[in-house]
């Protein structure tokens, strides 16, 4: 009895200590999320027709779960979409409304995590007592991520970002640790090669439960030369090589998720609808964005409907009201919204002209409900059965990733 009384205070102390520790999620898997920027689903669907040499992506598709196209969010741009991928909510809710902030707010990129209005996958991971990592993932400066190389740059070179800028915001000492294993890591530009080196280092040495990786080089190539071009296809094949290196370094209990932020379209012509209206004697005007336009004048709406039905002037489908409400409720009060026809953009031409050349051969930021304009989602690894899933919304991805990790979701409550 005396011995028990002596041990009793120690038992109480150990019990209190156990309660004070964060609960680690009951799970069997770690998760690597690889975002290949601009990996339009057609690269996967039409891989044979395109002649793509992508053995690693083919393996993941054959052995894992493939969704046949991911419908994006409004707007379909990199920073907004990457934030939706890890919050499960639309940009209007999570607060990252584009790549750059409005001009009234200075127009800079949405660098800092303090601009987020929603919780993310790494918040759920942290709450579960797990470790997280991020490599050039948007909106991660000052994030509570254990191993962080945030997307932050003062200089760009295609998909490359200057490493010194990233290092200035990174987890202290992380660049030095990676360089001890990969001496070439400290080249001037952080590109997909060195992003992969960082990922392999984390997989082999730090072993976080969650890694968010953003591969950027394909996006740059597709903008410059157009998607599905020789150059863009080569970059998809290079991304596949890098994925192979990560697969070789990944532990057996890891699940790999390949995602992308938006689809891609080739742009051939910019058409100035307001100048055409003027030339045809139609009073009124439209508000033009590259991938859609908004009309509120009754006469203009009727003219647009006629032009759309006749496949004229680069005017595509009129977007149904329920679709406008679903993707962009802020536009729902407009009389009509039209998307651009395939390979056309809306924009301003020189006075007296109706067409202009696009500044880029490949574009995104188009209307999210556009036919065949979709991003990709593959899940592969321990516990994942081969399956093909129908087209789904990008809003479904974050909860799916959380379920794989075994962390509580929704985190946005």
Question: What DSSP line would sit under 244-273, residue for residue?
Answer: HHHHHHS-TTEEEEEE-S---EE--EEE-H
Query: Are both 231 and 129 inside the same structural domain?
Result: yes
Output the pLDDT for position 92.
Answer: 96
Q: What is the CATH number of the domain that holds 218?
A: 3.40.720.10
Domain assignment present for 259: yes
Output the pLDDT for position 412.
Answer: 57
Domain assignment present for 12: no
Q: What is the dihedral of CA 360, 263, 328, 143, to 10 degrees?
A: -90
Output the pLDDT for position 410.
Answer: 74
Query: Are both 195 and 261 inside the same structural domain?
Result: yes
Query: Are both 335 and 252 inside the same structural domain?
Result: no
In tens, the pLDDT along 53-68 reads 999 999 999 999 999 9
CB contact burial 244-269 (16+ within 10 A = b; e otherwise): bbbbebbeeebbbbbbbbbbbbbbeb
- Burial of 277 per CB tally in 10 Å (0-12, 13-18, 19+): buried
Output the pLDDT for position 384.
Answer: 96
Domain assignment present for 61: yes
Query: Are both 152 and 66 inside the same structural domain?
Result: yes
Domain assignment present for 295: yes
Domain assignment present for 5: no
DSSP annotation string for 391-403: -EEGGGHHHHHHH
Query: Are both 42 and 169 inside the same structural domain?
Result: yes
Query: Are both 104 and 181 inside the same structural domain?
Result: yes
Output the pLDDT for position 26.
Answer: 45
| Residues making up the chain, counted from first to last | 413
Query: Are both 143 and 202 inside the same structural domain?
Result: yes
Query: Are both 273 and 261 inside the same structural domain?
Result: no
Query: Are both 59 and 208 inside the same structural domain?
Result: yes
State the Cα–Cα distance between residues 166 and 162, nearest whole angstrom.
7
Domain assignment present for 237: yes
Query: Are both 253 and 294 inside the same structural domain?
Result: no
Number of domains in the chain: 2
Domain assignment present for 14: no
* Residue-level pLDDT, tens digit, the chain, 413 residues: 444 444 444 444 444 434 444 444 445 589 999 999 999 999 999 999 999 999 999 999 999 999 999 999 999 999 999 999 999 999 999 999 999 999 999 999 999 999 999 999 999 999 999 999 999 999 999 999 999 999 999 999 999 999 999 999 999 999 999 999 999 999 999 999 999 999 999 999 999 999 999 999 999 999 999 999 999 999 999 999 999 999 999 999 999 999 999 999 999 999 999 999 999 999 999 999 999 999 999 999 999 999 999 999 999 999 999 999 999 999 999 999 999 999 999 999 999 999 999 999 999 999 999 999 999 999 999 999 999 999 999 999 999 999 999 999 876 54
Domain assignment present for 19: no
Beta strands in 103-228 (DSSP E): 132-135, 147-149, 156-157, 160-162, 189-190, 210-215
Query: Are both 247 and 321 inside the same structural domain?
Result: no
Q: How many alpha carbons lie under 13 Å from residue 273 in its C-beta half-sphere?
A: 31
Host domain of residue 399: 30-265+370-405
Q: How far is CA 124 from CA 130, 260, 409, in A?
A: 9, 21, 7
Query: Are both 215 and 231 inside the same structural domain?
Result: yes
């Amino acid at each position: 009895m005396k011995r028990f009384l002596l041990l009793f205070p120690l038992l109480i102390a150990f019990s209190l200590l156990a309660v004070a520790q964060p609960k680690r999620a009951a799970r069997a898997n770690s998760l690597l999320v690889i975002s290949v920027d601009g990996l339009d689903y057609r690269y996967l669907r039409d891989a044979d027709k395109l002649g793509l040499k992508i053995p690693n992506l083919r393996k993941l598709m054959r052995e894992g779960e493939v969704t046949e196209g991911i419908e994006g969010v409004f707007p379909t741009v990199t920073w907004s979409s990457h934030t939706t991928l890890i919050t499960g909510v639309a940009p209007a809710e999570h607060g990252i409304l584009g790549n750059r902030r409005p001009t009234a707010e200075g127009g800079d990129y949405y660098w800092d995590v303090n601009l987020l209005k929603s919780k993310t996958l790494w918040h759920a991971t942290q709450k579960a007592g797990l470790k997280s990592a991020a490599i050039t993932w948007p909106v991660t400066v000052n994030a509570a991520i254990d191993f962080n190389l945030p997307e932050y740059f003062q200089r760009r070179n295609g998909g490359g970002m200057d490493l010194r800028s990233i290092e200035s915001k990174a987890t202290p000492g992380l660049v030095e640790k990676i360089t001890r294993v990969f001496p070439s890591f400290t080249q001037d530009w952080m590109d997909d090669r060195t992003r992969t080196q960082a990922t392999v280092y984390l997989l082999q040495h730090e072993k976080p439960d969650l890694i968010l990786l953003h591969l950027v080089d394909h996006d740059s190539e597709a903008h410059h030369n157009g998607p599905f071009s020789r150059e863009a296809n080569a970059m998809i094949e290079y991304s596949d090589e890098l994925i192979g290196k990560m697969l070789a370094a990944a532990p057996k209990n890891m699940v790999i998720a390949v995602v992308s932020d938006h689809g891609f379209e080739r742009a051939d012509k910019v058409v100035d609808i307001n100048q055409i209206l003027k030339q045809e004697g139609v009073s009124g005007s439209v508000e033009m964005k590259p991938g859609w336009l908004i009309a509120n004048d009754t006469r203009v709406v009727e003219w647009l409907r006629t032009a759309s039905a006749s496949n004229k002037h680069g005017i595509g489908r009129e977007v149904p009201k329920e679709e406008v409400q679903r993707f962009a409720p802020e536009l729902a009060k407009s009389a009509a919204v039209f998307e651009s026809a395939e390979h056309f953009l809306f924009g301003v031409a020189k006075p007296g002209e109706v067409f202009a050349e696009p500044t880029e051969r490949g574009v995104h930021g188009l209307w999210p409900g556009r036919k065949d304009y979709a991003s990709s989602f593959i899940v592969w690894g321990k516990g994942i059965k081969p399956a093909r899933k129908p087209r789904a919304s990008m809003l479904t991805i974050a909860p799916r990733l959380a379920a794989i990790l075994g962390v509580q979701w929704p985190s946005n409550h």
